[in-house]
Amino acid sequence: MQKPYFGRLLTAMVTPFNADDSINCQAAADFAEWLLDHEVDALVVEGSTGEAATMDFDEKVAILKAIKERVGGRAPIIVGAGTNCTKTTLELVHAFEEVGVDGLLVVGPYYNKPTQEGYYQHFAAVAKSTKLPIIVYNVPGRTGSNIEPATIARLAEDFSNIVAVKEAAGSVAQTAELYRVLPERISIYSGDDNLVLPFMSVGACGLISVVGNLGGHLVQQIMRAYTEGRVEEAAKLNRDLVPLAKTMFCESNPIPIKYAVTKVTGIDVGKPRLPLTPLMEADAVKVDALLRHYGLEQA
């Protein structure tokens, strides 16, 4: 099995909305194509950055179809199928299978705060229901509880279609423990741009990125330098990226990145949906200054 399973850089792409708050399938397809033209190895559609929590079932299928029709076959398309209800998650999985995706990103059920056995049973139900490869997504800051490495190791042992982990607990120690307990075949992806280098030092092999929405080169160069043994260069490149990565979280994701994407690409991805609000003016000034500093403003 190849590793990293879906490539080194997966971008968690934003979801474009029209001015009337409806989904913009044309812009989504345009943006997917832009990303693949800018050093992104694979697309993650309808994840946290894609505002999946505010999209209904039909919208999720429609925008996925538009992206699949435009760029399907060029790179893996992974879709966020996680909800806080196992039954609803399975319904999404089956719908996405019919569209023809390449993989699933399944977040730990949020709000419910399952036990570790509950996490195991949830992911086991998903794995049994599909042959698609699955990325287990651990993000305690959004879900309210942590999927422990031992639980993920148990799932990886029992289900061959669990192929990767997106680790976004923010802990280098937990990532090191994942690398220790997981089978060698499992790809560990950092879920935080500003932690990709320390995570790689303890066993991660790639990144599921927010900053990648502005161009894959911004983080590809860090990972490339590290894997080629140019560790000091990787550290300097990472140092240079940290201000941009931090600023993309100056307000709740994806508020800043959506603002920045429109500026950088010229593709209007619209405003976030409520309960998220547009980027505040003071933060927009900060983002604009950083985009100029990094030479990212559209010519």
111 is catalytic: no
For 43, 167, 194, the CA distances from 207, given in Å and listed in that order, are 12, 9, 10
Considering 5, 119, 137, 189, which one is annotated as catalytic?
A: 137
Q: Are strands 77-80 and 134-138 parallel, antiparallel or unpaired?
A: unpaired
137 is catalytic: yes
In the chain, helix, strand, coil percent, each to 5? 50, 15, 35
Considering 68, 166, 258, 271, which one is annotated as catalytic?
A: 166
CA 34, CA 287: separation in Å to the nearest integer? 21
Residue 166 bridge partners (DSSP): 137, 189
Q: DSSP character for 75?
A: B
Give kind and range of the element (H or E) at residue 5.
none
Task: Note the Cα 251 to chain centre separation in Å.
Answer: 17
Query: What positions carry a catalytic annotation?
Result: 137, 166
